[in-house]
Structure 1
Amino acid sequence: MSNLLRFANLALLIAFPIAWFAPLMRAGILPIFGLSEISVISGLQSLWQTDVGLALLVTFFAIFAPYVKVIGIALIQFGLLRRKVLPVLEVLGKLAMADVFLIALYIVIVKGAGYVKVETAYGLYLFTGCILASLAISHLTRKR
């Protein structure tokens, strides 16, 4: 079981970057103008041009928090870091989940506007799955 947890955790080191570049949603003004794909990375690029403070916050929640958590869990699993750090790593995972909540909230708000068409894409599910898998792995690692 511990080898399976290690493998699943290390697989997240590959899955997270894929999720960051995968389209979270497709959005456009009215359906007749076509839809552009928005990913975590393309959203961050737009944020860096308009609001640096928010861009720093989202970069931390979407990229650094989940990745540091996965690396920390791996260090614990391989005996290179003490288990006392696990609660801190779990908080990082919960912060990353807040990012998914905000994306879902934005989609609901924009859909209510009427002039904008928004469709969820596979990247939203992939990103959410990565975060949920990370939460489950840290929970199972704690029990071990």
Structure 2
Amino acid sequence: MRWLNLSLLILYPLAWSAPLLRAGLLPLFDLTEISVLTGLQSLWASDVFLALVVTVFALFAPYLKTIGLALYDFGLLSPRALPVLHLLGKLAMADVFLIALYITLAKGIGLGRIETAWGLYLFTACILASLFLSLAASRRPHVSTSETVKIDHTD
């Protein structure tokens, strides 16, 4: 479980730069690939407050939760921090909702064309893996590093 969580520290940035959607104005034109990062760049140019909120939910919340869970897994963070990690996990799920909302709105307009891309599945898998790992962490007893390493000093 520890290593799966640590792999999220690599997979999240990959998922942020991977294409989530392909969007185009009319069916005859080429589709533009949209990732979390390109979407945030566009958002920063048009609405700074919304960009800040989405940046916190899509980037910082899941990454901080993953780092916190890694610290917990290796005995460097107290079990008392698990409720904070759980809250960060709830905040991180908000970005999946936002993406679903954008797809629904774009398809409802009728002028454009939206296709999901492989990055959407990777990003969703990262979020769901993080959720699974945090649930598993909250159900197991905490083992500190001092308990896992026993040194015999009987010379």
More strand by share: 1
- Note if 1:139 corresponds to 2:135: yes
* TM-score after normalising by structure 2: 0.88
Quote how far apart the aligned CAs of 1:53 are: 0.5
Given the two structures, how large is their TM-score scaled by the length of structure 1? 0.95
Number of aligned residue pairs: 140
Residue correspondence of structure 1 range 48-63 to structure 2 within 5 A: 48-63=44-59
Cα deviation, 1:31-75, whole Å, max 9, x if unaligned, reads 111100000000000011111111110110000000000000011
Task: Supply the distance in 2 between the matched residues of 1:8 and 1:141 (Cα, whole angstroms).
Answer: 12
Unaligned runs of at least 5 residues, structure 1: none
**What SS is found at the alignment partner of 1:90?**
helix
Which residue number corresponds to residue 121 of structure 1?
Answer: 117
Larger radius of gyration: 2
Tell me the amino acid that sits aligned with residue 126 of structure 1. L
Separation in 2, partners of 1:87, 1:15: 24
2-side partners of 1:37 and 1:47: how far apart?
15
Question: Which of 53, 60, 64 is the equivalent residue of 2:60?
Answer: 64
Runs of 4+ with deviation above 6 angstroms: none
- 1:11, distance to aligned residue in structure 2 (A): 0.4
The AA in structure 2 aligned to 1:81 is: L
CA RMSD of aligned residues (A): 0.7
Structure 2 unmatched ranges of 5 or more: 141-155
AA in 2 matched with 1:106: Y
Which residue of the other structure, out of 13, 20, 23, is the alignment partner of 1:17?
13
| 1:58-97 map, 5 Å | 58-97=54-93
Give the superposition deviation at 1:106: 1.1
CA–CA distance in structure 2, aligned partners of residues 19 and 81 of structure 1: 27
| Corresponding position: 1:109 with 2:88 | no
> Given that residues 97 and 128 in structure 1 are in contact (C-alpha distance below 8 angstroms), is that contact kept between their aligned partners in structure 2?
no
